[in-house]
Chains A and B, each alone.
Chain A
Amino acid sequence: MGKIIGIDLGTTNSVVAVMEGGEPTVISSAEGERLVPSVVAIDKKGQRLVGRLARRQAVTNSENTIYSVKRLMGRKFGDAETKRTQELVPYEITKAPNGDTQVVMDGKDYSPPEISAMILQKLKADAEAYLGQEVTQAVITVPAYFNDSQRQATKDAGRIAGLEVLRIINEPTASSLAYGLDKKTDEVIAVYDLGGGTFDISILDVGDGVFEVRSTNGDTFLGGDDFDQRIIDYIAEEFQQKEGIDLRQDKQALQRLKEGAEQAKIELSTVMETEINLPYITADATGPKHLVMTLSRSKLEQLVGDLIEKSLGPCKLALEDAGLKASDISEIVLVGGQTRMPAIQKAVEGFFGRSPHQGVNPDEVVGIGAAIQAGVLGGEVKDILLLDVTPLTLGIETLGGVATPLIERNTTIPVSKSQIFSTAADSQTQVEVHVVQGERPMAADNKSLGKFILDGIPPAPRGIPQIEVAFDIDADGIMNVSAQDKATGREQKITITASSGLAEEEIEKMVAEAEKHAAEDSARKDEVELRNAADSTAHSAESFVREYGEKLSDDVKQDTLAKAESLREALEGSDLDRIRTETEALALHIQGLGAQMYEAQAGEVPQGPGGPEAPAGDDVVEGEVVEP
């Protein structure tokens, strides 16, 4: 059984995706792109072109380059949508004998499914190249408002392309799937889909893995392209006022304008102001002319404000048709690249009164949902195989109150991780294992999940004992933490049940907190590590003197101990520079003494306590010790 692919067959762009290792993956085309233009053409040589290549030659061959064919799928020639499309496109749209719409390409008639099939064929080929195997089955998405003949037309397109279409699912359903909303019960979802050329709003009911469309509405001629056009017109008009030249008449200048406008639009989603900088955009008798303008986010929002307003009208109607109020909507999903714009997110949030789901690439979310459905049909998404992730980092508290991570956040479970730790003080006979959860570097700022003590550790110099701490999380999120003394085999463990009730918002808050405090937390952690190292070094120096007292002169002993004393004194204060310099100096000093001893006593190999480094062992982490 081969893989079943999921396809978002869009008006402007199409996406193909597949489940791999339980995760949906968007497949790149042969041209290296994740979005394939839904364009088909036959060039002057009679060669058929699909996707990026077809788009590239569109201006030289406009009559034989078919785009936005989705608008014509399953439609009769007399349909309003057909007429409107006919007015806008340079290729010929005619009436088939049975009254259906058809297009003319290179003098031949094609039904819209035949054109769509060409796009599907390319997506199929790209998928096969990626997977290294034949692909014969697919799930394809359609707008929720597609009628039976439109859905059948889509299935036909699949068949012509050599694909068995196992399922046709609604686009808003697919995007909800991508956000895992199929797990919800009795909730109402609103999907706001603002693509390149069309806008769709859908209201869905979800329960027990069944999605029902309550209402849909939209504007089939409202999209991101309109937003771009506003910017282009604004810049061109400003320039015309200043220089008296309309750049839109010059194909080359217009091309640069388009790119500049799109680039500016994208940047203004993250910054408040950007510059559109197009030197040598044109020239007149007085010389070269440059277009350099700043565009602020607020100006952009002014330019497109009415377009955003325009999208809310259908939202209102959709709610009315469903007999619902905005407050009845429990989940909102954003689809389409244009929804990256902050003003749109705000408008949607303002309209529905809650924040929309984000996180999945809005250009790919429908394709990803199609892949998930394909995965379910292919048996790859069995409930028992649905794996969770740990939402937050798990670790233990180590010397100085540092949170030492053992399992990173977003690690897929089940998982096992272990690490070797040691003692902080000489003759320490027990260690406390304090399990913490969170992203902050200091344990006290994280959530405490539990603690236990492992005792009976044979007395030894600090840093010598090997305590293996192991974290094991099973598929249900139940965590077992154990600590075992490698020398005696004594072990202690606790079981921590999944920290249920950590809502997504709480998790996001904790991550945000960590980011906010990142700088100061990092400084604190550095300080703790510095102090640990200082303490360790002072201890080493003192041990060294104790151990090799007979081999050292009194002067050297005094000097070494004095240095250690000074360092301990520094540790009581807060002059970090002093601590750092004295630690380095003392460490070098001990090394120097050690080297001298080697030279003096060639043949005798001193066995040391190991100094500031932890004993040998691949898993031993330097300087990580567990407090008593």
Chain B
Amino acid sequence: MSEERAENAEEHEDVISEAAPDAESEAEAPLSLEEQLAQARAQADEYLDGWQRARAELANVKKRMERERGEMYDRTRIPVIARLLNVLDDFERAMENAPEALNDDGWFEGLLHVQRKFAGWLEAEGVTEIEAGDHFDPAIHEAISQEPSDNHEEGEIIEVVQKGYKLGDQVVRPPRVRVAA
């Protein structure tokens, strides 16, 4: 492996810059005034063109930034919301696993209120649950397993193991599902 590598490496050097238009012309006879003027004019044109293009690019980048500004706000929030959702997952797991006996317990009731409050916060932030539907679609879901199932057709979702959420149109995290083989 090492020899093969060595051979290949030696043959493939990288030359970064284009050949620089350097002072080769100094070796030639001095140019007439007309020629110098023509050269200077050509260069001036080139510089003006470059300047105009730079201005235009700046303007276009600014425009794009304006368009993206709204998106950017959401984009920076999304990772934070995603991490918060992990905690929400755990909270929901806890609630699902609550012992029957606690159903009438006042303390447990308080937790239900907390759960609702969390849901309310999500709604207020514009975070909505992604409806999973019945059939697996990679544009929407992420499959964590494929399993044989007597009750399901091939490609049907057996279970949503982690809810998916979106913020506006952007996916915060896709629903994670088990898919029937």
Q: CB within 8 Å of B: which residues of A? A: 20-21, 31-32, 43-44, 49, 53-54, 56-61, 80, 144-148, 151, 169-170, 173, 177, 182, 202, 209-217, 251-252, 255, 277-280, 283, 287-288, 317, 321, 373, 376-377, 379, 383, 385
Please determine whether A170 and B138 come into contact, CB atoms closer than 8 angstroms: no
Return chain B residues, CB-CB under 8 Å to A283. Answer: 97
Interface segment among B1-9, B26-34, B101-109, B117-125: the answer is B1-9
Interface residues as binary, B7-44 with A (CB distance below 8 Å gives 1, 0 otherwise): 11111111111101000000000000000000000000
Q: Which of A177, A210, A214 contacts B9 (CB 8 A)?
A: A214
Most chain A Cβ neighbours within 10 Å, of B8, B174, B178: B8
Q: Does B129 contact A (CB under 8 A)?
A: no
Q: Given the known inter-chain contacts A56-B142, A59-B145, please indicate yes or no for A212 contacting B136, CB distance below 8 A.
A: no
In the complex, the answer to whether B136 meets A280 with C-beta atoms within 8 Å is: no
Q: List 30 interface pairs A-B (beta carbons < 8 Å), by A numbering.
A: A21-B57, A43-B138, A44-B154, A53-B139, A54-B138, A57-B138, A59-B143, A59-B144, A59-B145, A59-B179, A60-B179, A80-B1, A144-B9, A146-B12, A151-B12, A169-B14, A170-B14, A209-B15, A209-B17, A210-B13, A210-B16, A211-B16, A213-B10, A216-B5, A251-B144, A252-B144, A255-B161, A278-B90, A321-B6, A385-B50
B111 at the A interface (CB under 8 A): no
Closest to B161 in A: A252
B113 contacts partner chain A, Cβ-Cβ < 8 Å: no
Would A215 and B179 be within 8 Å (CB), given that A53-B139, A59-B143, A173-B14 are in contact?
Answer: no
Q: A144: nearest residue on chain B (CB-CB)?
A: B9
Q: Within the complex, which residue of A145, A210, A255, A379 is in contact with B15, where a contact is CB–CB below 8 Å?
A: A210
> Which DSSP category, helix, strand, loop or mixed, fits chain A's interface?
mixed
Q: Would A145 and B4 be within 8 Å (CB), given that A44-B154, A213-B9, A373-B16 are in contact?
A: yes
For chain B residues 138-161, which have a beta carbon within 8 Å of chain A?
138-139, 141-146, 154-155, 161
B5, B93, B145, B154: the one contacting A251 at CB < 8 Å is B145
Does B170 sit at the interface, judged by CB under 8 A?
Answer: yes
Assess whether B5 is in contact with A145, with CB atoms less than 8 Å apart. yes
Contact A376 B155 (CB under 8 A): no
| Residues from chain B with Cβ under 8 Å of A214 in the complex | 9
Partner of B16, one of A56, A213, A287, A376: A376
Is A211's CB under 8 angstroms from B13's CB?
A: yes
What is the minimal beta-carbon distance from A450 to any residue of chain B, in angstroms? 32
Is A279 a contact of B6 with CB atoms below 8 Å? no
The answer to the question of B112 belonging to the interface, with a C-beta cut-off of 8 Å to chain A, is: no
Q: Which of chain B's residues have a CB closer than 8 A to the CB of A377?
A: 18
B84 in contact (CB, < 8 A): no
Query: B20: which of A32, A43, A279, A383 is its contact (CB, 8 Å)?
Result: A383
**Residues of chain A lying within 8 A (CB to CB) of residue B9:** 144-145, 202, 213-216
Bound-state Cα–Cα, A383 to B54, Å: 15
